[in-house]
């Protein structure tokens, strides 16, 4: 069984659709939604599987690690509210994860050597985006415990690069590369005015996070 963890900031329609959809999947035990924006569902009836955490201010992207640490399943699926995975895709990711539980498994890989770059890559990868990433609760908690080593990097929004930290935590635990798979997923239609890649200095910041991860998790020079 899986605990699904999703953040919301400014796409309430997508978030509520995802909560309803994922709650119908048999493989999903619990859904933790951490809302960093305006109240997500005032007066609405949420699925029984869903636990909604409403923050009174934006606590940033590390909030996904914090709420995932409360999971009661070994498998944690981190996802965003701008896409939806079919049940078959989520089941396939769970099967891959079950064969290598200390690694991270996902749909959107990134090249991080010799430097971080945009563009999806598949197969063995260093970095996976938390748009769709399966990991163990243990690996999630390793990443959470390491976040204070990145505070001086001052990412915007707060916690930018959390997917890189989680990916390196997986490699540190498993001593191998993470894995990205070509599996079906559907992006929600519409503009993404709050998409994280639109923030100034986004790419350079992520390069700095990669360099810091090499030192924090492997003791390597940048």
129-158 pLDDT per residue, tens: 999 999 999 999 999 999 999 999 987 888
Beta strands in the chain (DSSP E): 2-8, 28-35, 50-54, 75-79, 83-84, 105-106, 109-110, 123-125, 127-128, 132-136, 178-180, 186-187
| Confidence (pLDDT) at 189 | 84
| Mean pLDDT within 159-169 | 96
| Confidence (pLDDT) at 171 | 98
CATH code of residue 154: 3.90.550.10
| Confidence (pLDDT) at 193 | 47
| Mean pLDDT within 71-92 | 97
- The count of domains in the chain is 1
pLDDT digits (tens, 9 = 90+) for 11-45: 889 999 999 999 999 999 999 999 998 888 776 78
Greater pLDDT, 197 or 132: 132
Is residue 198's pLDDT more than 60?
A: no
Q: How confident is the model at residue 115 (pLDDT cuts 50, 70, 90)?
A: confident
Q: How confident is the model at residue 75 (pLDDT cuts 50, 70, 90)?
A: very high
Average of per-residue pLDDT values in the chain: 92
Helices (H) and strands (E) in the chain, counts: 6, 12
Is residue 74's pLDDT more than 70?
A: yes
| Confidence (pLDDT) at 199 | 59
| Mean pLDDT within 100-108 | 98
Q: How confident is the model at residue 195 (pLDDT cuts 50, 70, 90)?
A: low
Beta-bridge partner residues of 4: 31, 77
* Stretch (H or E) spanning 64: helix 63-68
| Confidence (pLDDT) at 221 | 60
| Confidence (pLDDT) at 126 | 97
| Confidence (pLDDT) at 161 | 95
Output the CA torsion 20→93→164→9 (10° steps): -10
Query: Which structural domain, as residue segments, surrounds residue 73?
Result: 2-218
Is residue 192's pLDDT more than 60?
A: no
Measured CA to CA, the distance from residue 94 to residue 27 in angstroms comes to 9
């Amino acid at each position: 069984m899986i605990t699904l963890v999703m953040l919301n900031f400014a796409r309430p329609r997508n978030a509520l659709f995802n909560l309803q959809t994922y709650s119908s999947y048999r493989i999903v035990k619990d859904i933790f939604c951490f809302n960093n924006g305006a109240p997500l569902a005032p007066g609405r009836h949420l699925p029984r599987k869903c636990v909604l955490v409403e923050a009174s201010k934006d606590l940033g992207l590390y909030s996904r690690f914090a709420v995932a640490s409360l999971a009661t399943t070994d498998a944690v699926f981190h996802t965003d509210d701008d896409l939806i995975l079919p049940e078959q895709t989520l089941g396939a990711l769970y099967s891959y994860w079950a064969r290598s539980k200390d690694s991270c498994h996902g749909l959107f890989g990134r090249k991080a050597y010799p430097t971080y770059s945009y563009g999806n890559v598949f197969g063995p990868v260093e970095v996976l985006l938390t748009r769709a990433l399966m990991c163990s609760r243990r690996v999630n908690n390793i990443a959470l415990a390491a976040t204070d080593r990145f505070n001086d990097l001052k990412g915007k929004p707060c916690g930018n690069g959390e997917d890189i930290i989680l990916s390196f935590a997986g490699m540190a635990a498993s001593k191998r590369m993470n894995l990205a798979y070509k599996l079906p997923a559907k992006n929600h239609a519409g503009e993404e005015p709050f998409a994280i890649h639109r923030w100034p200095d986004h790419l350079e910041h992520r390069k700095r996070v990669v360099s810091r991860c090499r030192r924090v998790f492997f003791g390597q020079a940048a």
